Every structure is written in C-alpha cells, then in structure tokens.
Amino acid sequence: MRSLTFWLKLVLVLGLLLVVVAGAAATVTATSSDLPPDEVVVRLRPQVSITTITARYNATEVGRLIENNVYFLKLPVGSTAVDLLPVLNSDADLFYAELNYYDDALPTGSQRYISGHGKFPVVEQRYISGHNVFLDANQNYTNTSGTPSGSDRWAWDAIGLADARQISTGQGVIVAVLDSGLVAAHPLLNSNLIAGYDFVGMTNQIYDFGNNLDDDGDGRIDEGTGHGTHISGIIVSAAPGVQIMPIRVLNSDGVGTYWEVAAGIRFAVDHGAKVINLSLSAPRLPPSLQEALDYAVAHGVIVVAAAGAGPGPNYPAAYSHPLILGIGASDRGDVSASFSGGQAVDNKVYAPGVDIYSSYPYNEYVYGSGTSMASAIVAAEAALLRSRYPEWTASQVNQRITSQVVPVSGTLPGRVDLAAALSTGLEVRYQLGDNGSPNDANLKPRLQIINNTAITIPLSELQLRYWYTNEDNKPQSFSCDYSAIGCGSLTNSFVNLAVPRGGADAYLEVGFPASAGAVLPGKSSGEFVLRINKTDWSNYSETNDYSYDATKLVYTAWPQVTLYQTGQLVWGLEPSGALPTPTATQTSTSLPPAVTPTSTALPTATKTPTPTLTPTPTRTPTPTLTPTSGAGGCAVTYTLNQWSTNFAADVKITNNGATTINGWTLTWSFANGQQVTSMWNATVTQSGANVTASNPAGHWNGMIGANGGTVPFGFQATYSDVNARPTNFTLNGVACQ
C-alpha cells in the first residue's frame, strides 16, 4: 500500500489507539471494551513454580522472561486483571503483578487522544491522504526518490558524518531496532540484516513482504513497516558496517505492550546486540520494563530512546539511570524542534530530527521528522564508537556522546557531533615480539600508529619512543625485521637519559623521512617489527622495562610507548622523572630492502550507502600535554541517580593542586550499609563500609591534570532506607572537600 505524498504526525504514548483507514480520512475510536482485560504480568519469588501460580488462578502462560522469573499470563474467561490485581499483589509467592497496558487517566491538552487497546497508543495530529501505516514520535514524512541534494543532507553535514565515517563505519556491531519490523528486501538494508524476532502475537514473523498476503498474521495485508524501515535506514546510512537486528514489538498501528518491549530488550541482549534503539515512548515505567532496561545495562548494552513528543516524563527515555540515553530532536538552526517533547530527564542529548532522509517501503526513500529519527542517529553514533573503540565500556561511550556536543539554543544538553566524538587523535598499538624471552639478547617490539582522526597525517611529522633499560650502557644496534612502508622508510636513534626514570634509562626513537608517506584518516600505518640488540650480543632484562608488557600478545593500545607530532607528545605517558636529555646518538642501517610505501586499512564495510558524503578533513588532533607528578588539594563531586533500592553514583575528582597527579586512589566509607555492585572508569573495591576507587599511572583515566583537572568514574550500588553522601573522601591520602 503506497501513497505518493503523505504527511503523518504521530506520537507514541502508552494506552491509546488511533486507526486511519487507507484511502479515507476516517478514524475508528476504540472503547474501554477493547482493553485487554485478561492479561497480566507477574514476577515469581525464588523456588515458586509457574504451574503453582497458573493452577491457583486458572491462568495460561503466554510467555516468560527466564532470567528474572517474569511471566505473561492470560486469565480465564470472566476474570479481569483490574479486579484480580489486588489479590495478585498480596500473594506471598509473587514479587509483583502488573497490568499489561497503561491504565492511568488520559492526558489533557490540545492533542486528540483516543482511548484504545491498552498498549502503546498513537496520536494523530495531521495527515494528507489516508494511509494505514503508523509511526511513532510525532513523525512528518514526505515521499521522494533518488539521492538528496546538498541542502537536504543538512543533518549529516551538521553532525560531521563524513569525517566520522572516515574513522569508523560501525563494522561488526549489532544494533537491535525494537520497532514495527521492516522491509527486508529494501536495497539500503538487505545486506545489513541478521535474524531478529517478532514479539507481536509471538509469531516470529517479522516481515510483511508486499505479496498481497497477511504474512505476519495481524489481519492486515502488506501493512506498513515504514517506521522500522525508516529508522533502520538512518542507522545504516550513518553506520554502514552495522548489522541490524529487527525486533518487532509494535504492530501495524504502532501499538505494542510493555511485555513485548521488555521481552524484545532481553532478546536483543541475549543475542549479541551492543546497541538497542527504542524509537518509542510511554508515560510510565512498570517493573518488568525497568528490569529489562537494567538487564541491558548490566550486560554492557547501550540503550538509546526517543524523548517523544508529549510533555513527559516519557519512558524509557526518562528513566533516571545514567546509562539510558534519552534523545531530543533539534532542527536546522540547532534549536529544539517544535515537536520535541519530554522533560529535562527525557533529553540527555539532542540530535537532528527534522527532514531526515532514509529508506521506506518498499524500495522508496522519504524525508522524516521526529524524535525517532534523532534517536536513530545517536544509536548509529554509539555503533560507530563501539566499533572503533571496542575496549571502551558502555559508560565511556555514553560519556563520549554526551560530552562531544555543540550548543542547542534554549536547552542544557547539546547536539551530537559525530566527528568530534570519533576523533580521539593518534594512538600507538603494541604487541610483544619475543614471547617468553624477557632475558635474551633482543628487544623485539611490534608497533603500529593508528590515526583516529579525519585528516591525513604525514609520517614525517611523527616520532615513536620505546623506553627500556640498557644494562651496562653498552653500544647497541637497531634492525627493522619488517615494515609495511618499507624498512628503508624508518630512521632511528638511541638516547640515554641523564637521570634514569622508572623502568627506563634509555629510549629508542623511530622517525620517518618525507618520502615515508602518511597515515590516512581512520587507518593504520601498518606494522613495524623492530629489533634492538647490544653489539656484543649480551642479554637484556626486559621484565621491568617501562615499554615492555609480556601480556600484550595481540596489538593493543599501549600508552607506555609514546608518540610525538612535530616534537609534541600526542600519545601516551613518559616514565616519571626528569625530561630526557640526549647524551649520545647511534644510527644503524635497517637490514631488509625497502618496499613501496603503503597504508594498511583497518576493517571497513564494503557497502557504500546512499547518499555519498563528501568529507571535509579540517580537524586536527588536540595535543596531549606532558604530565608531571605530584598532588594537591582536591574536591569530589558526587551525583546520585536513585531507583527502587539501587542507585548509580557519578563521581568527579578535581585536582586543585599545582602539579599533575599520575595514578590516584580515592577512599571513603559508607554510613548506611550501601554495597557496590558494579563500576566504570575505575577499579572500585569494598571491604565492609570502606570503599577504594583507583587507577594506576599510565591508565587512560589515571592522570588528573593540575589547577582544576578532573577525572570521572562511577559505580552502581544497593541501599536500603538511607543513602547519604559520603563526607570523608581522601585522594592519595589527602583529605578532599
């Protein structure tokens, strides 16, 4: 079913339903009798059998969430969930019982809400020509065809997508799209799909194929999967290397239950999704949905949710958990879009949500507007980051998204900047070259330079330093066993330190001539297999060398091999102590013959999405300043987000001293029995009431700059009645404010 031009604006909020009949401007108003009176969700206590509960209430099991003992039940004829709910909630064998629909009073305002099937409702605001495809979050769609012109790529240009895509394509990341299903054969999507699931009616039929049949069994022929198709297309356009896992939780009317969404979240987590996009919202957060969100977060999955169009709070976006990202929509002027709703808690960050070009059934493309579209853009950003920086935690990814933003007029959070988020500068990856031989006659580091920026960087601007100890200060020679750009394109020098540092009294510096080429955006220099030995072939003792790490058996980002650009430290930490003073220089000729210089690419997708973007590589990496050691006065900011008997604390340490702190330990004690359960950005341990958070020198989050430098970390914990802020923080033994 298609319409050449249509304009639908719909809002997804729980408990209401609107049906538009195709080809006619008509609505069917549902009545209270359409609510599912015999559906209930219960959570069993441990050791309680579901057969005990179904027998007790003569109910039938429809579905289950095994991990937390939650069941979806259908009550017998004549029983209603509303009447039975007080009995169920007083049952000692149950933690809770809840309705499977929203049953609060209808909201008021200028929008026309129509009470419906007790699931995710839809609100019509305006349409041109009838169409039975329902979409969420205040959508505005206009059909088109072909590739958008330059002015219509405004959203991609605003967020720096061309630059971001030079750094990452999202390769290898699974993004679960919990939505209305999608058209699997659409040319933008057909090579980016993996198996999903249909929780609408539990039929596991995700797709309507456009074959004049009711494939998904919901009584409609070829009904629109337009919303899920459009959302998935946005994600693939921005991150063409991802795999989309379509999980259908909304029917053709944009209607779904809490159970379906909760079950969909758990399915996504259990089947490898690293990002979940929820372009949907509802006015409350029942226990089953909250537990599903907690389950995702506990498994390191990033959850991105549309802020919706209603006044809010709109869930899941409004869930106060710090790792749930609620997304508002901004327009071409970086102003909050007129339809973007919710309260402050709903909007963790903004993204473009007006006139976003993407796929639509069946082989078409349309421009769509809504917080749904904004959410999809941020889900794509999360996938780009997870692919490029797989060692980052979900908390680190979320922090990167919310910190790398540009201002949005009239709002506190900013609008995402994908180019800034993806561009983290240069890094060095290290691999041990002589496994099991720390006391032989060779040092064998293997190194790569990675360009995490959108600009081309000449190798001639770069210098690598490998720090070690040269026992007896004997003469040494350098060899290149392999270089991706040819061993003849490497220069080398040995430098002895006037004052030894921790784990080093010398370093090897490797440089590059002007003919060596460059490291391309988002690419690697390729491998450098190096070898150092003493001219008398006596042994080294590498175990305590600063740059040596016997655990690095595969290439790993390693800050203890430092990198300099035009003499400025841009990656890593030098060993503590005095600055290096050259005392002698030796140069030897590399042994193997040179080869033609090349640049080795990191994994990228082979599929070119529509539209083609023109990169604008104008950004330059920000140099990292050389740290010095020391400590000073400190302050601790402790921000709580509480729910039920759990809480998350975001902690920021500020160094007010005049010297940089390399390696830190923060201690405090809880006064009310709080117990840490998980943490991020630091190692957090607890013994009784006493808690210690720490990061060593050399850790990416282990240095606190002087004169106001900060580091963040956080943790999740449980509490009972009182959750007071600790007041006895000490940093490296010094009391903090």
Say how far apart CA 52 and CA 565 lie, in whole Å.
69
Q: Does a cis peptide bond (omega within 30 degrees of 0) precede residue 580?
A: no
Neighbours of 218 (CB within 10 A): 18
The rounded radius of gyration (Å) of the Cα atoms in the chain is 29
104 is catalytic: no
Angstrom CA distances, 578 to 52, 501, 544, 581, 689, stand at: 73, 7, 19, 9, 40
Adjacent-strand bridge partners of 476? 534
What are the start-end ranges of the E strands in 37-103? 39-44, 60-65, 70-74, 94-99
CB 428 within 8 A of CB 562: yes
Contacts of residue 645, Cβ cutoff 8 Å, sequence gap at least 6: 718, 719, 720
CA angle 114/119/123 to nearest 5° reads 35
Contacts of residue 154, Cβ cutoff 8 Å, sequence gap at least 6: 332, 352, 355
> Catalytic pick from 91, 163, 179, 294?
179
> Catalytic pick from 288, 359, 372, 524?
372
Adjacent-strand bridge partners of 122? 12
What SS3 class is residue 34?
helix
Contacts of residue 47, Cβ cutoff 8 Å, sequence gap at least 6: none
What SS3 class is residue 706?
coil
What are the start-end ranges of the E strands in 239-343? 243-248, 275-278, 302-306, 324-330
372 is catalytic: yes
Q: What are phi and psi of 374, to 5 degrees?
A: -60, -45
What SS3 class is residue 237?
helix
Greatest CA span in the chain, whole angstroms? 94
179 is catalytic: yes
What SS3 class is residue 509?
strand
What are the start-end ranges of the E strands in 252-301? 275-278
User: Which helix (H) or strand (E) is 399 found in, with range?
Assistant: helix 394-403
| Active-site annotation, residues | 179, 227, 372
